[in-house]
Amino acid sequence: MTFAFYTSEEHFSHQTEDDHPEHAMRIMAIEQELKSRNLWEQLIHANGEEANLPDILRAHSKGYVEQLHLIQPKHGHIYVDEDTAMTPGSLKAALWSAGSCTTALDALTANKFSSAFVATRPPGHHAEHKKAMGFCFFNNVAISALRAADIHHYQRIAVLDFDAHQGNGTIDILGNDQRFLLLSSFQHPFYPYTHYQESKYTNLINVPLASGAGSATFRAAIEERWLPALKHFGPEIIIVSAGFDGHKDDPMAELNLTDDDYRWLGELIHKHTNPKRVPILSILEGGYNLNALGRSVSEYINGAK
């Protein structure tokens, strides 16, 4: 199985302050841990590219994109909401973040690799059609999923999101589009407090987890709720919002997952898709304790290889 690791140096352009949880050291921590485990040399390394405007506009309104460019500061930083810092290089980084994901997608659809992990920032799954929030400007997963459907003509695209925070933006953009199956596990009640309920969406399956939930509860819920839906849907490609802030050491959530849970997730997704040779695109979302993030991503990749 060929496994690609995508990133881009342009993520450094998004220069959040040192005390902001979403900062450049996140990517560096992942790379350092992969190297320390001798996983680095087992991966095929590739660089992303800047996203093109048609890809962005499949997921976001033209007015929203124009507004972001208008408000981007020339110096210092502003906050587009209480959490999301914007600096002079933030949109450049966001375009390269999305473009790294679509570049990886194109390589997967051309059978260059069977799986890819995109270590990128800023993340994306909270960005809605017309709204930036939760550290996110452009929704990398939704942009990739819509490109997979409209350009590569996939008709059954499964989007899996195991971040501790529900991917409200992905649901806002892809909800009720029957080309997509949306599987979401998250702490509840918790940020973003939008409570996207299954009753409003015919293609959404939620796995809400109470504060303090650990491995046994998480794994049982995934097996009960996600696996039957995946089997029935029969995806042609899987796109993963890979958020690691459910780890017990992470300061941004209150779940009690462990390194081994992320290895288990990688294995689970791989086992489901391997017999059918379904390509898997995993895209980094949350994870803010640097040590836990590096270990968890390494375990996830090791399980998915």
Whether 199 contacts 229, CB under 8 Å: no
Question: Is the distance from CB of 197 to CB of 175 less than 8 angstroms?
Answer: no
Peptide bond into 189 cis (omega under 30): yes
Active-site residue, selected from the candidate residues 126, 165, 247, 270: 126
Is 126 a residue of the active site?
yes
Tokens representing 244 are: 């690691």
Please give the order of strands across the beta sheet that includes 3-7. 44-47, 3-7, 115-118, 280-284, 237-242, 157-161, 180-187, 204-209
Give the Cα separation of 274 and 178 in Å (integer).
24
Instruction: Give Cβ neighbours of residue 132 (< 8 Å, ≥ 6 apart).
Output: 68, 80, 81, 84
| Cβ proximity of 3 and 113 under 8 Å | yes
Task: Spell out the residues 6+ positions from residue 71 whose beta carbon is closer than 8 angstroms to its own.
Answer: 78, 80, 86
CA quadruple 227, 228, 233, 236: dihedral positive or negative? positive
> Six-digit token pair at 291?
């040590």
Q: Among candidates 154, 126, 151, which has minimal Cα distance to 140?
A: 126
Residue whose entry in the numeric block shows the structure tokens 């909800």: 175
Q: Which residues are catalytic?
A: 126
